[in-house]
Amino acid sequence: MVPLSYYLVLSGFLFACGVAGFLIKRNIITIFMSIELMLNGVNLSFVAFAAHWHALSGQVFVFFVMVVAAAEAAVGLAIIIAVYRTRETLNVDQVNLLKL
């Protein structure tokens, strides 16, 4: 059986990758994907703990997170398309003003 710490290390690695990508990347799509990566890193630790403690609440939580992430993806992608249409760029450094 794979020990819990392995899952947690992987989960922490995924989360750290997400953080790094969020901070470093300029492209909005990539930033968006980094956020998804952080969410999934957290999901992984939820699932690992649920399996370790034989408790279902962790898995239920993961479903909630997925639902919210899906909804967020829908709204977020819509915003990104709207931004691209108006600004013709996806570089966050050039999208720092709300007014045109």
Partner 1 sequence: MNPMLNLWLIPVLPLAGAAINGFLGKRSSRTAVTTIALFFSGAALAMGLWVALRFSSLTLPYQEYFAHWIRSGSFSVDFAFYLDQLSLVMLLVVTGVGFLIHVYSVGYMWDDPSYYRFFSYLNLFMFFMLTLVLAGNYLMMFIGWEGVGLASYLLIGFWFTKDSAASAGKKAFIVNRIGDFGFLIALFLLIKHFGSLNFDQVFQSINPLRAETASAGLLTAIGILLMVGACGKSAQIPLYIWLPDAMEGPTPVSALIHAATMVTAGVYMVSRSHVIFERAPMALTVVAIIGTLTAFFAATIGIAQTDIKKVLAYSTVSQLGYMFMACGVGAFSAGIFHLMTHAFFKGLLFLAAGSVIHAVGGEQDMRKMGGLKSYIPWTFLTMGIATLAISGIPPLAGFWSKDEILWKAYQVSWIYWLIGLITAFLTSFYMFRLLYMTFFGDYRGVQVDAHGHGSHGHGEHGQAEPHESPMVMLAPLMILALLSLVGGLMGIGNHFEHFLAPVFGTGETVEAASRVTEFLLLGVSVIVAVSGWWLAYWLYCARPELPQKIADSLGGFYEAVVHKYYVDEFYAAVFVRPLIDGSTRILWQDVDRKVIDAAVNNAGAGARHLSDEVRHMQSGNIRSYAGWIAAGSAVVIGFMIWMGVR
Q: How far is the CB of 71 from partner 1 (least distance, A)?
A: 21
C-alpha closest to that of 40 among 3, 79, 10, 4: 10
Judged by CB under 8 A, does residue 5 bind partner 1? no
Footprint of partner 1 on 63-92 (CB under 8 A): 92
- Residue placing its CB nearer to partner 1 in the complex, 15 or 49: 15
Closest distance to partner 1 from the beta carbon of 59 (Å): 26
Tell me whether residue 24 or residue 81 sits nearer to partner 1 (CB atom): 24
Residue closer to partner 1 (CB basis): 22 or 84:
22
Dump the DSSP string for 6-18.
HHHHHHHHHHHHH
Distance, in Å, from the CA atom of 47 to the CA atom of 31, rounded to the nearest integer, reads: 24
Considering only CA atoms, which of 67, 61, 60, 13 is closest in space to residue 37? 13
Closest to partner 1 by CB, 56 or 97: 97
The residues with which 27 forms a beta bridge, in sequence order, are 91
Distance CA 40, CA 29 (A): 17
Q: Tell me which residues touch partner 1 (CB under 8 A).
A: 19, 22-23, 92, 96
